[in-house]
Structure formats: C-alpha cells, structure tokens
Chains A and B, each alone.
Chain A
Amino acid sequence: MVMTKADLVEEIAKDTGLSKKDTSVIVNLIIDNVCKALAEGDKVELRGFGSFKVKSRNPRKARNPRTGASVDVPAKLVPYFKASNELKQKVNG
C-alpha cells in the first residue's frame, strides 16, 4: 500500500493531537532540513531510524544502450539512506 505525505501527516496528527496544519508545516521542514544538509555535504543521523549521507561516485565511461556510443559520466555526489539495525529488525519482525 502506498502512503503519501498527506496520509503521513494525518496519521501523525492523530497520534500527537496537534493540528494537521502545524503537523504538515513541521513535516515539510523535516524534509527541508534533511535535503539542505545533504546539499551541503553534511550527514543526518536519526537514531533508531537510519542516516542520510552523500557518497561520491568516480567518473566512468558508460554506453548509450541504444546506439552503443561511449558516453563520459562525470564524477558526482549521490545521496543515500542507510537503515539502522533497529529499522532492519522491525521490517523483518
């Protein structure tokens, strides 16, 4: 089942008793904080949940699968999420 941000806000507001409006503002700012930290190369550690980090990828030569032409892929930074052991266990539980 796919949940959206609106579903998540609704669920959180129900649990905390805070208004959906305030909850939605906070949820948007959580995401904003994580995105900004990653854009600055910082990592975000959320205990018991996981961490968001940035990895660097080396430049490489790839191929256009349609034409077979060789394409240079430059070095770049990619964001990724590493789930905590707690979260991994919960999902398996």
Chain B
Amino acid sequence: MTKAEIVENISSRTGLTKKEVAEVVDQFLHCISKGLAEGKHYEIRGFGTFKVKDRKARMARNPRTGEPVPVPDRKVPVFKVSRELKELVAQS
C-alpha cells in the first residue's frame, strides 16, 4: 500500500478532497519526523509509539575485507507496536 492509495481511500470515505487529505498525510509524516529529530516521542493509542533510541559506539567489520570499522554512537528512530496492533496482526 502506498501513500497515494491511503489518500484515495480517505478521500472517498470522508468526501474531503484528495488535495486536503494529501496535505494532512504529508504533514502527519513531516510532524513526526521533525518531532523525532527534536527528541520528541509520539504515542498513538492503539497503534504504537514512535521514539528515538541511543545506540552506543561499537566496532564493526567490513564484511568484504574483514577490516574493523568504528561505528560512532548515534540515534535511531524506532516504532514500538501497541499490544492492540500486535493482536490484530497475530489473529489474521
């Protein structure tokens, strides 16, 4: 499923124009991305939580040459799936 299909579906279910819906969908993704970059977490009940986790620096290896490569500490975006969504998918 793509963003265009989601916009189409919402537009036909609400009667709002595709343009209006597309704007909200884009802004939805934009706000979460921006918020995560600012260190905010987004808790959406029944769906899950978007948050940022710290990863420690570590030594990795170049799999081709076997050469050790340092990986600096960094932040990674994660999504923790809600219990409800897990159950919905598990039952399908």
Contacts and interface: CB of A to CB of B under 8 A. Distances in A.
Whether A and B are associated in the same complex: the answer reads: yes
B47 A90 contact: no
Contact of B32 (A2, A8, A35, A40): A8
Interface residues of B, number: 50
Interface string A36-57: 0111111111111110101000
Interface of B is mostly: helix
Contacts of A8: 28, 31-32, 42, 44
B37 A49 contact: no
Interface of A: 1-5, 8, 11-12, 15-16, 18, 22-23, 25-27, 29-31, 33-35, 37-50, 52, 54, 76-81, 83, 86-88, 90-93
